[in-house]
Chain A
Amino acid sequence: MSSFRKFVLALAATFFAPWLCLIVVPHAKMKAQEISIWEDKELGTKSSYPAGTPNIFRQGQSVYAREGCASCHTQMIRPTYLGFESWRPDFGKEGTRAKPVRIRETRPGDFLGERFAYLGVQRVGPDLSNVGYRHDEAWHHAHLYSPRSKREFSVMPSFRHLYVKRKVRGQRSNDALVMGGDLDPGEGFEIVPTEDARVLVGYLMTLKKDQPLPPWLLEEEEEEKTGDAGEKAKEG
C-alpha cells in the first residue's frame, strides 16, 4: 500500500511541474495583460494596444469555429526567421481596400477578447490574420457561396448552406449575391446571406491583426533585432 502511495505521489510530482509552468502560470499571467494607451505623434491620434475587438467578432468567430475554418486556415504570422508570410503579391487583387498599415508577426495582444485563438492546424488556404484588408463584403459572400467562382484553383468547400435562395418580393435585397453564369439564381429569384453568413463575413472583415504597437514595445523589438550591433552604430 505504501509503495502504491509513493508511486502516485511520484506521478503527481512529475506531472505537477509542467502543469504549473505550461498551463496555470501562463493563464494567470496572460489574463492580467495591461492595455496601454498612448498618443501617436505622426497621426495625431490616441491609440491603444491591445485595441480589442467589436461585437460582431464573437458571433462570427463561433460560426468560424463550427464550420471548421480553422482546419485549413491559420491566423498566425510567424517571425521572419520561420518564413515570410504576411502578404503575397496576389492577395486582395479584387476589392482590396488598403494594404495593412504595417505588416508584422502576430502578438499575444492581437487576440485580446477572443474566446479562443484559432492559430490554425495546417495551412491549406492562405493565412487570415489580415484578411480584413484584402476583400470587401460582397467578394467574401460570393467566395463563400462558390469559392471557385473567385479562385479557379481553390479547394475550399462551398458554404451554400449559409445562404438562402428565395423569390424576390418587391425590391431586390441589397445583400443579394451578384453572380453570373451557372450560379445565377434565375429571373425573379435572389440568393441572400443568412444571419450566420452575415456575422461570419463581419468577422472576416474585422480580422486585421496589425494594430500599431506602443512605442516602447517597438523599441524593445528594435533592440532585440539589432542587438549589440545596433547600439554600436548609434554610438558611432
Chain B
Amino acid sequence: MTDDKKADEDILRRAAIDRSARLPVLFFFTSATVWLVVSVILGFIQSVKFYAPGFLDAPWLFFLNYGRSNPAFMGALVYGWAIQAGIGVAIWLMARLCRAEVKNPLTLLVAGHFWNIGVLIGVVGIFAGYGTSMEWMAFPKAVWPILLSAYSLVVIWLITMFLRREAGDVYISVWYVLGACFWFPWIYITANVFIHVLPGAAVAKAATNAWFLSSMIFLVLVPLGLASAYYFIPKILGRPVYSSQLALIGFWGLAILGGWTGIQKLMGGPLPVWMPAVSGVAVILMLVPILAIAINHHMTLKGNHSLVETSPTMRFTAVGTLAFTFFCILSALCAFFSLGKFTQISQTTTAFQLLAVYGFFSLTMFGAIYFIVPRLVGCEWVSGSRIQQHFWFSTYGIAALVGLHFIGGIWQSSAYAQFDAPLENAVSAGRPYAIGVSVAWASIVISNLIFLYHLGLMVLRLGRRDENPALLGHQHHAA
C-alpha cells in the first residue's frame, strides 16, 4: 500500500517537473524544428546547385550560389537545429534527473531568443556576403559572442540545477550533459579567439578549424545525443543500463580522445606531419569507447527488440545510435592513408558531417522529442503513421545521402587522382551521385515538413486527448 502511494507521488512529482519545464523546452524544440525545415530546404537547394548551377539562377538570386547556400545550410542545421534541440533535451533531462522543478524559465527564454537572433544574423549574414567560408564557423565574425553568451546562460542554468539536485547517484546522462556544458564554451572560445581575434599563422588557423569541427561533433553533439540515448533506452525498457562499468569507459574514453581528433582531415597538408598523425590515431582509438557504448546499448536492449518496432522514441534512438557507431567506424577507416586520400577532400566530407549531425544526432533528438512533448503539453501525438512517415523518409533519405556521397566522393577523388586525364573527367565523375543525393534531400525535406506539421499541432494543443500513446507498426487499437 505504501509502495503504491509512493509510486503515485512519484508520478505526480514527475508531472509537476514536466509542467514547470514546458515553456523553455517547447520554445527550444519549436524554434529548432523551424530552423531544421529552413536548413533542409536550403540543403536541397544547395544539393541541386552542386551539379546544376543554373537551378534558381535568376540574377537577383545570386546569393543562392553554392558557395553561399552551402555554408548557410550547414550553419542553420548545426546551430539552428542541432544544438538548439540538444539544449531543449538537456534542460528536460536535467530537470527530470535532478528531480527539481524548473526555476527561472525566463533565463532560458532569454538565452533562447539570443541564440535564435544569433543564428538568424549568421545565416542572413552568409547570404548577404559576410560569411567566412570556414567549415562550421562560416557565420560572420560578429556572431560568435552572441551565441556564446546565450549558451553560457543555459550552462549556468543547467549547473545551478545540478547543484540543487536531490541527493543520490548521478545518472550517466547527467555526466554527458555536464560534459557538453563544459566542452562547448571551451571549444567555441578557443576556435573563435584563435581564428578571428589573435593574429597568427594561417595554416595553424586552418588546423584549428578542422579541430573545431571534429570536437564539436565528438564533444558537443555526441555527448548530448548519448545523454538522450542513455536515458530513453533504459527508460522505455523499464530496466537499468546493462553495465555502469562500460558506461564509465565510454564516457572517459570519449573525454580523453575527443579533443585530439579532427586534423586528420588535413593529412598531407602544409602542417607538421605529427598533427594529422596524432588525430588519425585518436580517431582509430576512439573505436574502443564507442564499442563500449555500443555494447552497453545493445546488451540493455537485448531480447526486447520488439520495442524498436512499436515505440517511436526507441526506434529513432536505436537507429541514431547505430548511425553513430557506423560514423565512428567510417571515420577510423578514413584515418588511414589508403582510404583517406580518397575521402579527405571530396563529397565524402559532406557524408561524414551529415551522418553525424543528421544520421546520429537528429534521429536521437527526434526520438527524445517524441517522448518529451506529449508530457509537456498533455496530449498525445496525433497519428502513429505520421511518425512512421517521418521515420522512414528520414532514414531512407539519410542512408541514401550518406551512401551516395561516400561512394561518389571516392569516385570523384580517384578521377582527380588520374593526373594525366582531362579535367572534364574529374569534374563530371561525381555528378551522377550528386543527382542521387538531391533525391535523398527531397525525401528528408518531406519527412521534416511532416514533422514540423505534427509538432505544430502538438504545440497548439491539437493533439489527441487519449490515454494511449501513438505507437508504430501494426498496433491494433484493441479493446
Q: CB of B228 within 8 A of chain A?
A: no
- Interchain nearest-CB distance for B51 vs A (Å): 6
Q: Are A84 and B417 interface neighbours, CB within 8 A? A: yes
Q: Are A83 and B132 interface neighbours, CB within 8 A? A: no
Give CA–CA (A3, B190) in the complex, Å.
Answer: 27
- B204 CB contact (under 8 Å) in A27, A66, A69: A27
Give CA–CA (A147, B52) in the complex, Å.
Answer: 12
Q: Are A8 and B182 interface neighbours, CB within 8 A? A: yes
Chain A binder among B9-17, B341-349, B440-448: B341-349
Q: With A15-B255, A121-B135, A126-B423 in contact, is A7–B270 under 8 Å at CB?
A: no
Which residue of chain A is the closest to B206 with respect to CB atoms? A117
Q: With A83-B416, A116-B195 in contact, is A11–B182 under 8 Å at CB?
A: yes
Q: Are A23 and B190 interface neighbours, CB within 8 A? A: yes
User: Which residues in window 234-290 of B have CB below 8 A to A?
Assistant: 252, 255-256, 258-260, 262-263, 266-272, 275, 278-279, 282
- B419 CB contact (under 8 Å) in A67, A88, A105, A147: A88
Q: Are B345 and A76 interface neighbours, CB within 8 A? A: yes
- Interchain nearest-CB distance for B359 vs A (Å): 19
- Interchain nearest-CB distance for B286 vs A (Å): 13
Q: Are A83 and B133 interface neighbours, CB within 8 A? A: no
A123 partner residues in chain B, CB cutoff 8 A: 345-346, 412-413, 416
Give CA–CA (A27, B205) in the complex, Å.
Answer: 8
A33 partner residues in chain B, CB cutoff 8 A: 201
- B57 CB contact (under 8 Å) in A68, A90, A158: A158
Q: Are B422 and A116 interface neighbours, CB within 8 A? A: no
Q: With A17-B259, A26-B207, A108-B203 in contact, is A69–B133 under 8 Å at CB?
A: yes
B252 partner residues in chain A, CB cutoff 8 A: 10, 14
Give CA–CA (A65, B271) in the complex, Å.
Answer: 21
A111 partner residues in chain B, CB cutoff 8 A: 201-203, 270
Give CA–CA (A91, B212) in the complex, Å.
Answer: 34
User: Which residues in window 18-48 of A have CB below 8 A to B?
Assistant: 18-19, 21-23, 26-27, 30-31, 33
Which residue of chain B is the closest to A66 with respect to CB atoms? B129
Q: Are B270 and A110 interface neighbours, CB within 8 A? A: yes
User: Which residues in window 406-422 of B have CB below 8 A to A?
Assistant: 409, 412-413, 416-417, 419-422
Give CA–CA (A89, B66) in the complex, Å.
Answer: 27
Q: Are A22 and B207 interface neighbours, CB within 8 A? A: yes
Q: Is the interface of B mostly helix, strand, loop or mixed?
A: helix
Q: CB of A233 within 8 A of chain B?
A: no
Q: How large is the interface on B (under 10, 10 to 19, 20 to 34, 35 or more residues)?
A: 35 or more
Q: CB of B392 within 8 A of chain A?
A: no
Q: CB of B3 within 8 A of chain A?
A: no
A110 partner residues in chain B, CB cutoff 8 A: 270
B282 partner residues in chain A, CB cutoff 8 A: 18
Q: With A19-B186, A68-B70 in contact, is A116–B202 under 8 Å at CB?
A: yes
Give CA–CA (A90, B421) in the complex, Å.
Answer: 8
Q: Are A68 and B269 interface neighbours, CB within 8 A? A: no
B198 partner residues in chain A, CB cutoff 8 A: 27
A112 partner residues in chain B, CB cutoff 8 A: 201-202
Give CA–CA (A14, B345) in the complex, Å.
Answer: 30
Q: Are B266 and A119 interface neighbours, CB within 8 A? A: yes
Q: With A66-B133, A111-B202, A157-B66 in contact, is A15–B422 under 8 Å at CB?
A: no
B195 partner residues in chain A, CB cutoff 8 A: 116
Q: Are A66 and B270 interface neighbours, CB within 8 A? A: no
Q: CB of A85 within 8 A of chain B?
A: yes
Q: Are B417 and A83 interface neighbours, CB within 8 A? A: yes
Q: Are A82 and B268 interface neighbours, CB within 8 A? A: yes
Give CA–CA (A107, B199) in the complex, Å.
Answer: 19
Give CA–CA (A114, B419) in the complex, Å.
Answer: 28
Which residue of chain A is the closest to B260 with respect to CB atoms? A18
Q: Are A30 and B200 interface neighbours, CB within 8 A? A: yes
Which residue of chain A is the closest to B61 with respect to CB atoms? A161
Which of A64, A78, A84 counts the most B-chain CB atoms under 10 A from its CB?
A78
- A71 CB contact (under 8 Å) in B71, B162, B207: B71
Q: CB of A230 within 8 A of chain B?
A: no
User: Which residues in window 46-97 of B have CB below 8 A to A?
Assistant: 49-53, 57, 59, 62, 65-68, 70-71
Give CA–CA (A82, B268) in the complex, Å.
Answer: 7
User: Which residues in window 114-144 of A have CB below 8 A to B?
Assistant: 114-126
Q: Are A67 and B260 interface neighbours, CB within 8 A? A: no
Q: Are B278 and A27 interface neighbours, CB within 8 A? A: no
Q: CB of B156 within 8 A of chain A?
A: no
Q: Are A15 and B186 interface neighbours, CB within 8 A? A: yes
Q: Are A22 and B130 interface neighbours, CB within 8 A? A: no
Q: Are B202 and A105 interface neighbours, CB within 8 A? A: no
Which residue of chain B is the closest to A86 with respect to CB atoms? B419
B202 partner residues in chain A, CB cutoff 8 A: 111-117
User: Which residues in window 118-136 of B have CB below 8 A to A?
Assistant: 129-135
Q: With A108-B270, A153-B424, A158-B53 in contact, is A22–B275 under 8 Å at CB?
A: yes
Q: CB of A207 within 8 A of chain B?
A: no
- Interchain nearest-CB distance for A32 vs B (Å): 9
A78 partner residues in chain B, CB cutoff 8 A: 267-269, 341
Q: Are B133 and A64 interface neighbours, CB within 8 A? A: yes
B267 partner residues in chain A, CB cutoff 8 A: 78, 82
Q: CB of A160 within 8 A of chain B?
A: yes
Give CA–CA (A68, B134) in the complex, Å.
Answer: 9
Q: Are A155 and B337 interface neighbours, CB within 8 A? A: no
Give CA–CA (A208, B408) in the complex, Å.
Answer: 30
Q: CB of B178 within 8 A of chain A?
A: yes
Q: CB of A156 within 8 A of chain B?
A: yes
- Interchain nearest-CB distance for A66 vs B (Å): 5
- A22 CB contact (under 8 Å) in B211, B268, B409: B211
Which residue of chain A is the closest to B65 with respect to CB atoms? A157
Q: CB of B208 within 8 A of chain A?
A: yes
Q: Are A117 and B346 interface neighbours, CB within 8 A? A: no
A119 partner residues in chain B, CB cutoff 8 A: 203, 206, 266, 269-270
Task: Provide 8 A-B residue pairs closer than 8 Å at the C-beta atoms, listed in order of the A residue.
Answer: A8-B182, A14-B256, A23-B211, A26-B272, A27-B204, A88-B423, A105-B268, A116-B195
Can you add 5 more A-B contacts, CB < 8 Å, to A108-B201, A118-B206, A125-B427?
A27-B198, A30-B200, A68-B65, A83-B417, A91-B423
A-B complex: 8 closest residue pairs judged by Cβ atoms: A68-B67, A30-B201, A18-B259, A78-B268, A114-B202, A117-B202, A161-B62, A111-B202
